[in-house]
């Protein structure tokens, strides 16, 4: 199940809001009482989503979270940017082949 924050980001993006600050725009809370996360404050101009509207974002949010994990894995595998510049200077084709291999091994959904 996707995080509530991801579903809210997807909902906002679909309604013209590309950035959500979870310290100002939307406050989420979980009281550790088994009821899970909920929207405590909604300070955006667009309407607060209903439960149904959030549920409709479930599949897209799961894909987004999986892709974020792929991005993180790829970034770690790419390595330090300074080292990559050195690779490019020495043999740009070898560098391109290595980057392609990382992308192929870690495909996005």
Partner 1 sequence: MAIDKIQSESINLADNFAFTGTVTGAGESNTPAFEVRLSANQTLSDATATKAQFNTEDFDTDSAYDNSSNYRFTVPSGKAGKYFFYTCIIGGNSSGGTTDYINVYFYKNGSSQGRLHPRGYNHAQMTYSTTYTKSFDLSVGDYIEIYVLVDTTSGTPVIMSGSDLRSSFGGYRVKS
For the chain, the straight-line distance linking the first and the last C-alpha, in angstroms and rounded, comes to 16
Please state the separation of Cα 18 from the chain's center in Å: 12
Q: Does position 24 bind partner 1 by CB under 8 A?
A: no
Helix (H) or strand (E) holding 7: helix 4-14
The mark string for 57-96 relative to partner 1 (x by CB under 8 A, - otherwise) is --------x--xx-xxx-xx--------------------
Residue ranges in contact with partner 1 by CB under 8 A: 3-6, 22-23, 27-32, 36-37, 40, 65, 68-69, 71-73, 75-76
């Amino acid at each position: 199940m996707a995080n509530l924050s991801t579903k809210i980001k997807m909902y906002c993006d679909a309604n013209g809001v590309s950035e959500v600050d979870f310290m100002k725009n939307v406050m989420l809370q979980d009281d550790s009482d088994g009821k899970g996360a909920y929207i405590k404050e909604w300070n955006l101009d667009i309407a607060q989503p209903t439960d149904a509207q959030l549920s409709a974002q479930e599949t897209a949010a799961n894909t987004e979270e999986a892709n974020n994990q792929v991005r993180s894995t790829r970034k770690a595998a790419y390595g330090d940017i300074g080292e990559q510049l050195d690779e490019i200077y020495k043999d740009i084709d070898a560098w391109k082949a290595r980057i392609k291999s990382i992308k192929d091994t870690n495909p996005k959904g």
